[in-house]
Structure 1
Amino acid sequence: MSFSQALSGLRVSAESLNVVSNNIANARTVGFKSTGIRFADVYSDSRVGLGVRVGGLVQNFNAGNQETTNRNLDLAINGNGFFRLIQNDQTVFSRNGQFSLTKDGFIENAQGARLTGYNRGTAQGTAPEAIRIPADGISAQRTNNVDASFNLDSRAEAIAATGAGNQTFSPDDPNSYSYVSNVSVYDSLGTRHDVRMFFFKHDDNEWSVGFLTDQDQPLDPNAIPVQYDVATQPVEFAADGTIVVPDNGVGIAYNFDPQNGADPVNFALNLTGTTQFANNFEVAALAQDGYTSGSLLRLSVNEQGQIVGTYNNDQQQVLGTLALATFRNNEGLRAIGNNVWVETGNSGAPIVGVPGEAQFGQIASGVVEASNVDLNQELVDLIIAQRNYQANAQSIRTQDEVLQTTVNLR
C-alpha cells in the first residue's frame, strides 16, 4: 500500500499554508503583491495518480488601494509601471513609493535603494541615474519683462498743460497725473525696487505712461522725449477702446541704474490687454519675471513625475524627473525581498520612460499603494488549506489502519 499520494498532499497543503500565511503577514506592507499557488497532479505510466505537486507560484500584480499619507515624497503610480531603483549597484523595481530625502540629496526608500530618473539638465531618453537634489539655492534673476493690463477710464479729464506746454509733475500731487500703479522689479543682485507707473491722459484716446524708481529716478524709455518732467511713452487707443500704440501694447522698453553695484535693470513693458473704456481705472493683471535669491523649502512631485523644488522666494524649479519601467510579462519578475523585483528572461527587458507618457501611469503624491491582499479571501484559503492538510493526514491514518489489519491477518 502506497502512502505517497497522501504525503504529497501534506507537502502541497503545507506549502499552501506558507503562501497564505505570507500573504496575510504582508497585508499591511505597502506595494506588496499577493501570491497564488498552483497545483498539478502526478502521473507516471500508472493507472492511479501518484499524488500532487506544486505547479508554480504566481504573483498578482493588480494595483492595491491608495492610502493618503500627506507626505510629499510618498508616491503611488496610477496605472502601469514600477519605480526604478538602484540597490547595492543592482537595478531593482518596486511599487512601494515610500521615499525620503537623505542628507546627501538622494531620494531613497527605507532599505537605502535610490530612486532613479533624470536630474536637472539631463535629457530624457538617456540612461536613468540616481536622482540627486542640488544643495544650492536658487540665484537671483533680474527683471526682464513686466506684463500688465489696465483699464484707463475714457471719462478721465486730460492733464492741463501750462507754460511752454509742460505740466509740472510731482508724484505727491495727484492732480499732475491721471493714475498711478506700483510694480516691484529686481536687479541682478536680487534687490527689489518698487517702481511707480504713472499714466497721463492728453486727449481723447491719447495717453502716455512713465516710471519713477523708489529713488524718484525717472526711467529712460530708449531716449523718448520727456513730458511732464518724467520720461514717458505714448499710449493710444482705437475707437473701440483697444490699445493700438505701441503695437498692440508690445514694444515699450525701460532701463535704470539701481545705484547699488548691480547691473542696469532693463525690462520690457507689455501692455497687451490694456483698454480704455468708460469704466473705473482697474489693474486687471500685473506680473514680472524677476526674483531675489532663495533657499529650498520643500519638494513635491507632480503627475508627470517632475520633482519640483519650492524656494523661500516663492519660486519653483523642476529639479529632476523620475523614471518608470514596464515589462511585457510582470509575472516573470523575480521577487528578492524588501518589496522589490528584478528582471528575468521571462519578464523581458524593462521599457523605461517617464510618467504620463505612452503606457506609463501618472504619479500621485501624498499617497501610497497599499497591499493588494484580500484578507477575507486569504482567511477562506487558510481554512481550505487547513482542511486539506487534515484530510491528507486522515488519509495516512486510514491507510495505516488498513495496513495493520492486513498484517494481522492469519
Structure 2
Amino acid sequence: MSFQQALSGLNAAAKNLDVIGNNVANANTIGFKGGRAEFADVYAASVVQSTASQSGIGTKVAAVTQQFTQGSITTTSNPYDVAISGNGFFRMDSQGATVYTRNGQFHRDDAGYLVNAEGLKLTGYSVNANGQVVTAQPQPLQLVVNSIEAKATTKATQSVILDSRKPAIADNVAFDKNNSDTFTDANSMSLYDSLGNSHLLSVYYRKTDAGEWDTYYSFDGGEAKKVASMQFNTSGQLMSIDGNVDKLQPTITIPAAQMTTGAADLTFTYDMSKTTQTGQAFSTNTQTQDGYTSGRLTGFSIDETGSLLASYSNQQSRVQGQIALGMFNNPTGLASIGGNNFAETAASGTPRLGSPGSSDFGTVRSGALEEANIDLTAELVNMITAQRGYQANAQTIKTQDSIMQTIVNLR
C-alpha cells in the first residue's frame, strides 16, 4: 500500500508551504533572503532487488537553502541607512560575538556607535592620527562629535595665463603696487595663519622683456616685495625662475610681527610651475591653498567605499572609519539565527574581509536599503502548486483507504 509514499508527500508539501509562508511573511523585511525547499526522492535499499522494479517509498525535503540574490534598492531619508550592491555582508558585533547581515538599517546610539534595531554594532576599520584607514582587525564603528583645528597654509598654487601681447615696462619705471602703470596684471588669493585667521595675498605681474616677467607680492595690503623673475620659452611654458630650471616653487615667509594676530610665522611654497605666456588675455586658471580656519561639525555621511565622513563648517571633511564587509565562499552554508542575522558555520567557510568596492566586494550606498529578494507573484504561484501537491497526496491516501476497505469487505 502507498500510505508511506503519500504521507511523505504530505510532510514534504507541508514543509514546502512553511518555507513559502516564511518568504511571504518576510516580503517587507529589509535585507531578507528567501528560502527554497529542495526535495529528494527516497528508495529502500536492497542488494538483490532489481532496479527495474523499484517504485520508491516517497520523498523528503533534502534541504532548505537561502537564495542570496540581490534585492531591489530603495532610497530613504536616513543617511545612516546603508545598502550593499553586490557581494558581501555587514559585520556586526553582538556582545563580542560576530554575526553577519544584509540589513543596513542603522542609527547612532548615545555613545556614537552605529547600531541596528537590536543594538548590534556595525564594525569596520579605524583611522590613525593622520586620518588614514588602518585595515587591521575590524572593531565597532563610532562617530565622534568634535571640531577641527585651524591649519596654516603651507602651499599656495596659482596657475595664470600671462598676455604675451602686452608691452614691456621700462626698467627706469619703478614698481608701485598703487600705480597700475608700473605693473601689467594682478590677482589675489586668501591664506590662513596658524590660528585660522584669513589674510589676503596680492600678486603683481610685470613684463620686463619678451618672455620675461617679474612677480611681486603684497601681504594684507602691506609693502610689496619681489617674489622672483620668470623666464618663458618660445612655446609659452615657464622655463625657469631666477634662472633656476629646477625650482619653480619659491618659498615665502611672512613674519609673525607683520600679521599682528598672535599667530606663528607663516611660511609657504608658492607654486608657479603651471604659469604660461600666450597670446590671449590675462586670466587665472587655478588658485588653491591648503590652509583653513577652525570648523565645527555639521554632519556625517557615508560614501560608496564605506568611509564614514565627518563634515565641518570650514568646508573640510575627515574620515572617522570605514565599513568592513565579510564574504563567504559558500554563503548558503550560513546559519540563519533570526533578527535577519547569519552565523558562520563549517559549511560556509571562514569569512574574507575587505572594504566596499575593493576586489570582488560590492559597493555600499548611503540613504538606501536593500529590500527582500522575494517575488510575491512567484511565491503565490508556488503556494498554489504546493497546495495542489498536498491535496494530491491526501487523495492518494483516500484512494488507498478505499482499496483497503474493498479488500476488508471481501467475503
TM-score (norm 1): 0.88
Shift in Å, 1:43: 3.7
| Unaligned segments of structure 1, at least 5 residues | 219-228
- Contact 2:330 2:349 survives alignment (8 Å): yes
| Residue identity matched to 2:237 | T
Match of 1:166 in 2: 174
The residue aligned with 1:138 is 148
More moved, 363-372 vs 262-271: 363-372
Alignment of 1:39-58 (within 5 A): 39-45=39-45, 49-58=56-65
Q: Which structure 1 residue ranges, 4+ long, deviate > 6 Å from structure 2?
A: none
Q: Distance in 1 between matches of 2:150 and 2:23?
A: 53
The alpha-carbon deviation at position 243 of structure 1 amounts to 1.3
* Range 274-283 or range 70-79, more displaced: 70-79
Paired with 1:394 and 1:236, the residues of 2 have a C-alpha distance of 99
Deviation per CA, 1:191-248: give whole Å up to 9, x if none: 111221122222332222222222x234xxxxxxxxxx53442222223322123237
CA distance in 2, matches of 1:372, 1:137: 42
Residue 66 of structure 1 corresponds to 73
Give the one of 213, 232, 235 matched to 1:237.
232
Give the equivalent residue in structure 1 for 2:347. 346
Q: Name 2:328's counterpart in structure 1.
A: 327
Instruction: Quote the residue 1:187 is aligned against.
Output: 193
Q: What residue identity is the alignment partner of 1:128?
A: P
State the Cα deviation string for residues 61-88 of structure 1 (Å, max 9, x = none). Answer: 1222322336443333332211111123
Q: Secondary structure at the match of 1:93?
A: strand
How far, CA to CA, are the matches of 1:336 and 1:144 in structure 2? 54
Name the residue aligned to 2:207: 201
Distance (Å, rounded) in 2 between the aligned partners of 1:38 and 1:205: 81
Tell me the distance in 2 between the aligned counterparts of 1:41 and 1:276: 84
* Aligned CA distance change for structure 1 residues 96 and 262 (closer, same or farther; 3 Å): same
How many Å separate the matches in 1 of 2:289 and 2:303? 25
* Deviating more after overlay: 193-202 vs 3-12: 3-12
Contact 2:153 2:268 in 1 (8 A): yes
Distance, in Å, in 2 between the alignment partners of 1:248 and 1:151 is 21
Q: Deviations over 1:348-374 (max 9, x none)?
A: 111112223233222333433222112
* Residue in structure 2 matched with residue 31 of structure 1 by the alignment: 31
Partner SS state of residue 295, structure 1: strand
- The answer to whether the Cα contact below 8 Å between 1:118 and 1:323 also exists between their aligned partners in 2 is yes
Provide the secondary structure at the position in 2 that maps to 1:255: strand
CA 1:277–1:41 in structure 2 vs 1: closer, same or farther (change >3 Å)?
closer
2:315 equivalent in structure 1 = 314
Matched-pair contact (CA < 8 Å) for 1:324–1:355: yes
> Secondary structure, in 3 states, of the residue corresponding to 1:5?
helix
Partner Cα distance (1:129, 1:409) in 2: 77
| 1:226 corresponds to | none
CA–CA distance in 1 between the matches of 2:182 and 2:108?
57
Q: Deviation per CA, 1:248-292, whole angstroms, max 9, x where unpaired?
A: 772311121222111111111101121122211110111111111
Task: Return the match for 2:222 from 207, 212, 217.
Answer: 217
1:251 maps to 249
Secondary structure of the 1:345 match is coil
- Which shifted more, 348-357 or 295-304? 295-304
Q: Is the alpha carbon distance of 1:402 and 1:240 closer, same or farther for their aligned partners in structure 2, counting shifts above 3 Å? A: closer
| Alpha-carbon distance in structure 1 between the residues aligned to 2:177 and 2:187 | 15
Provide the residue aligned with 2:49 in structure 1.
none
Of 163, 166, 183, 1:156 maps to: 166
3-state SS in 2 of match to 1:357: coil
CA positional deviation for 1:30? 2.0
Amino acid at match of 1:91: T
In the TM superposition, what is the alpha-carbon distance from 1:339 to its structure 2 partner?
A: 1.5
Count how many residue pairs are aligned between Structure 1 and Structure 2. Answer: 395
The residue identity in structure 2 corresponding to 1:94 is T
Unmatched 5+ stretches in structure 2: 47-53
Q: 1:95-114 maps to which residues of 2 (within 5 A)?
A: 95-114=102-121
Q: Is the 8 A contact 1:100 1:109 kept in 2?
A: yes
CA shift digits 1:4-59 (9 cap, x unpaired): 43333222222111100111122222221110112233344586544332211111
Shift of residue 109, structure 1, vs aligned partner:
2.2
Q: Aligned equivalents of 1:347 and 1:404: distance in 2?
A: 51
Task: Please state whether the residue corresponding to 1:14 is helix, strand or coil.
Answer: helix
Bigger shift: 68-77 or 277-286? Answer: 68-77
The 1:50–1:209 alpha-carbon spacing in structure 2 relative to 1, beyond 3 Å, is: same
Contact 1:96 1:369 in 2 (8 A): yes
